[in-house]
Amino acid sequence: MSLGWWTASYAEDMHQAVAARGRIDKRQAILDAAFTVFARAGYAQAGVDVIAAEAGVAKATVYSHFGDKENLLREAVAASADQALADNLAAVDRLTDRGTDLRATLEGVGLRLLQCYCDDRSWALRRLLSAEINQFPDLLDIIHTRAADRITETLADRLARLTVAGHLHTPDPLLAAEQFFALLCGPMDRRTRLGTRHLPDTELRALSRAAVDTFLQAFAPKRTETT
């Protein structure tokens, strides 16, 4: 019961396995709880006791795993950035698909990306970074090198290949990638009121379509129309 999210049957099923994997499971539970509590209350206001309770773990266990509160923040943020990276790459990777028309593909990718960025954990990560960037400047490096930069570079790669294939015209693919993200996220930030409001999927689709409209007007090939 005091273990929080564990159900009794889950505890029974895992009765043996949990002992072997117990340590790593606890570590993950602590990271999840830490991210949740840090995101909810902010670093300074978040109590390590609260994190421990939310993870279903004793406070001393938290310290034995992570040493101190600062390090816990860094590890929780890093884990969350890795998660975000995976989600985003899955969205951008669909841009490899050929055969369908480019506009529809871009709109699909845009929609997936918007869904990633509208996720509560994604907003929490960005807020946490903004909030603690003065006290922990290295969080910026953690997040950018682990996630943000890779995603932008991956999209730039895709745009470059589409340009080489004659489907697009992006002389500076990195800039084009930045502008694609900007056209998606700028209007979304305003509409969601910085993530405090949830948008229905239809509205996300409209945002993606508007972004792709503008993007294609700027970066569609100039001479030859695509088939």
Binding site for its own copies (CB under 8 A): 39-45, 126-127, 129-135, 137, 140, 144, 148, 152, 175, 178-179, 181-183, 185-187, 190, 193-194, 196, 210-211, 213-214, 217-218
Shortest distance, position 142 Cβ to DNA, whole Å: 19
- Among its own copies, DNA, none, residue 196 binds (CB under 5-8 Å by kind): its own copies
**Half-sphere exposure in the Cβ direction for 22 (13 Å, CA):** 11
Cα–Cα distance for residue pair 140/130, rounded to 1 Å: 9
Query: Which of residues 57 and 72 has its CB atom nearest to its own copies in the complex?
Result: 72
Shortest distance, position 49 Cβ to DNA, whole Å: 6
Shortest distance, position 193 Cβ to its own copies, whole Å: 6
Residues in the chain, total: 227
Tokens for 120, please give them: 């509560």
Binding residues for DNA, rule: CB under 7 A, are 2, 15-16, 19-20, 22-23, 26-27, 45-49, 56-61, 63-65, 68-70
Query: Which of residues 15 and 193 has its CB atom nearest to DNA in the complex?
Result: 15
Shortest distance, position 147 Cβ to its own copies, whole Å: 13
Query: Which of residues 69 and 167 has its CB atom nearest to DNA in the complex?
Result: 69
Shortest distance, position 178 Cβ to its own copies, whole Å: 4
- Among its own copies, DNA, none, residue 28 binds (CB under 5-8 Å by kind): none
Query: Which of residues 65 and 121 has its CB atom nearest to DNA in the complex?
Result: 65
